[in-house]
């Protein structure tokens, strides 16, 4: 098994049942998740040894969150406890032409307020093969940003592979940090970049188009700006409506462009966490296969997450392999 570490907030997702708006409902369901948590759970489901670093409240909600991660095979030995509450987000699930909407409640959460200076990163990275981070973490607080930077510096010193998903969210940067400057510094400590022209434009103030030529040129620009980056992976999405999407993926390795076939989801069960499923599938693929197969594996993992309720992708390696090999009919297995 490969050892992977993630660092990020554990959230509780709260939703009205089905496609109801909150004002219509007096019943709610919840799931635990969060961008990096979703990646961790998916990687554990694929047979990897995964450790997640975060903070949870010292109450029954924190215990439930910890138990949830343990249930799916994630090592929670590095979870700290806090007097602050767990971060929340509320989701109304859209349908057809009505978009899903999200409202966050995480500005003074256990993770945002954690003291990252007391984390023993050497212990966290013991025998680690890969470290994954996203731009959500440095956006939440100065402490989380400083902790992530320290983690990346230690991981780089230990020659651990590092994947960056910058995931810029303007509404999260509330503490006064310069998002582009901070994200640029963190990307400069990474070697695998998950994102395309949209993310590169946000990071470097460029205006590349999202077509194939724009992707290649933006990748060249990114690698020129951050020489530590050696591979760029991106997925593209076409939305027919809220329930019907098409995805395909692409990669630039500094020399060649690779693309996958398009996969179509006509009846989406759950849209949340699909990007995290792509990241997890990619990391697993890069640790076990060649780059092009890893790209196909990531695209299939992303597509399958659209069929799973909740934030995390709970499919197996065999299920993903079936899609990679053209098994798209969904026939019952007997």
Q: What's the rounded mean pLDDT across residues 183-196?
A: 97
- At 116 the pLDDT is 87
**pLDDT score of 2:** 86
Task: Answer for the pair 240, 257: CB distance below 8 angstroms, yes or no.
Answer: no
- Please say if the pLDDT value at position 176 is more than 90: no
Residue written as token pair 């109450």:
59
- In DSSP terms, 79 is beta-bridged to 54
Average pLDDT, rounded, for the chain: 95
Per-residue confidence band for 300, with pLDDT thresholds at 50, 70 and 90: very high
Model confidence band, residue 334 (pLDDT cutoffs 50, 70, 90): confident
In angstroms, rounded to a whole number, what is the distance separating the alpha carbons of residues 258 and 292?
Answer: 7
* pLDDT confidence of residue 68: 98
Confidence of residue 232 (pLDDT cuts 50, 70, 90): very high
Neighbouring CB atoms inside 10 A of 156's CB total 17
Choose among 275, 48, 287, 53: nearest CA to 154. 53
Kindly give, in sequence order, each residue whose CB lies less than 8 Å from that of residue 244, ignoring residues fewer than 6 positions away. 264, 265, 266, 267, 268
Stronger pLDDT, 333 or 255, i.e. the higher one: 255
Residue 329 banded pLDDT, cuts 50, 70, 90: confident
Helix axes 212-225, 197-204, angle to 10 degrees: 40
pLDDT in the model for residue 326: 94
The answer to whether 28 and 14 are in contact (CB under 8 A) is yes
| Burial class of residue 303 (count of CB atoms within 10 Å of its CB; 0-12, 13-18, 19+) | buried
In 197-329, which ranges are continuous DSSP H helix?
Answer: 197-204, 212-225, 274-288, 291-305, 317-324
How many Å apart are CA 146 and CA 297, to the nearest integer?
Answer: 33
Give pLDDT, residue 90. Answer: 96
In this prediction, residue 43 carries a pLDDT of: 98
- pLDDT number for residue 331: 83
pLDDT at 204: 95
pLDDT score of 139 more than 90: yes
Give the global pTM: 0.96
Is residue 285 classed as helix, strand or coil in its secondary structure? Answer: helix
Report the C-alpha gap between 281 and 87 in whole angstroms. 26
Residue 49 per-residue DSSP state: E
How many angstroms from the chain centroid is the CA of residue 60? 26
Q: If we measure between CA atoms, which residue out of 71, 79, 61 comes closest to residue 11? A: 61
Distance CA 95, CA 98 (A): 5
Q: Residue 1: its pLDDT value, please?
A: 73
pLDDT for the residue numbered 333: 81
Tokens encoding 322: 């079936």
Spatial distance between the Cα atoms of 154 and 138, rounded to a whole number of angstroms = 17
The tens digit of pLDDT for each residue in 26-61 reads: 999 999 999 999 999 999 999 999 999 999 999 999
- pLDDT tens, residue by residue, 86-96: 999 999 999 99
CB atoms within 10 A of CB 21: 12
Residue 304 has pLDDT above 80, yes or no: yes
Buried b / exposed e along 305-323 (16+ C-beta atoms within 10 A): bbbbebbbbbbebebbebb
Give mean pLDDT, residues 272-296. 97
């Amino acid at each position: 098994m490969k050892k992977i570490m993630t660092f990020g907030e554990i959230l509780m997702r709260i939703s009205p049942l089905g496609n109801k708006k909150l004002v219509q409902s007096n019943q709610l369901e919840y799931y635990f998740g969060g961008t990096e948590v979703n990646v961790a759970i998916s990687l554990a489901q694929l047979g990897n040894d995964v450790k997640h670093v975060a903070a949870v409240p010292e109450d029954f909600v924190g215990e439930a969150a910890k138990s949830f991660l343990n249930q799916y095979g994630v090592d929670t030995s590095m979870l700290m406890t806090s007097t602050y509450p767990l971060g929340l987000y509320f989701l109304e699930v859209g349908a057809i032409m009505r978009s899903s909407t999200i409202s966050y409640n995480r500005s003074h959460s256990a993770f945002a307020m954690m003291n990252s200076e007391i984390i023993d990163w050497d212990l966290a990275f013991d025998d680690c093969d890969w470290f994954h981070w996203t731009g959500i973490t440095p956006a939440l607080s100065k402490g989380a940003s400083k902790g992530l930077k320290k983690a990346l510096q230690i991981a780089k010193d230990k020659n651990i592979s590092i994947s960056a998903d910058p995931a810029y969210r303007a509404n999260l940067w509330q503490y006064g940090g310069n998002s582009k400057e901070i994200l640029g510094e963190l990307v400069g400590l990474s070697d695998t970049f998950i994102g395309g022209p949209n993310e590169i434009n946000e990071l470097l103030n460029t205006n590349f188009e999202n077509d194939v030529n724009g992707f290649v040129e933006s990748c060249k620009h990114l690698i020129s700006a951050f020489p530590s980056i050696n591979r760029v992976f991106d997925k593209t999405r076409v939305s027919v409506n809220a329930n019907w999407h098409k995805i395909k993926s692409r990669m630039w390795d500094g020399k060649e462009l690779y693309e996958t076939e398009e996969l179509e989801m006509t009846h989406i069960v759950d849209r949340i966490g699909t990007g995290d499923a792509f990241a997890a599938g990619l990391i697993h693929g890069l640790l076990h296969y060649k780059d092009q197969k890893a790209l196909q594996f990531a695209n299939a993992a992303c597509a399958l997450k659209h069929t799973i309720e909740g934030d995390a992708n709970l499919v197996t390696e065999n299920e993903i392999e079936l899609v990679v090999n053209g098994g798209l009919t969904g026939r019952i297995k007997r």
